Amino acid sequence: MTDRPLIGVICCKRRIGTDMFQAVAERYLDAMIRFAEVDAVLIPSLPEIQDARRILRRLDGVLLTGSPSNVEPGRYGGAAPGVGPFDPGRDAVAMGLIAESL
């Protein structure tokens, strides 16, 4: 039996009660695992302690999902302040994954 491709899925930061959580909408995982026949791992949006290059070396691909948060306008030259909510950690990890993937 051959291994299925391993795909990393970026998380969003969410507050639940007093704690912060890393979360992904299950619909993304279900569709990807069921229909693309891959295995999935979550990529936490913790740019201070995550390194995109190290993560990508272990993966066969990455899925950057939609999110309730918007990308901060300063990341793409847009006018400030923009309309939130924003998730700067997710933005930083996503941009790092994109840059390293290219």
Q: Give the pLDDT confidence of 74-89 residue by residue, as tens digits.
A: 888 877 777 788 899 9
CA dihedral 83, 20, 91, 94 (to 10 degrees): -140
Residue 93 is predicted with a pLDDT of 93
Residue 21 is predicted with a pLDDT of 95
Contact 78, 65 (CB under 8 A): no
> Which of 55, 79, 54, 63 lies closest to 12 in space, CA to CA?
63
Taking only the tens place, the pLDDT of each residue in 7-37 is 999 999 999 999 999 999 999 999 999 999 9
Strand partners, 23: 12
User: What CATH number belongs to 6-101?
Assistant: 3.40.50.880
Residue 33 is predicted with a pLDDT of 95
∠ Cα 84 55 78 (to 5°): 25
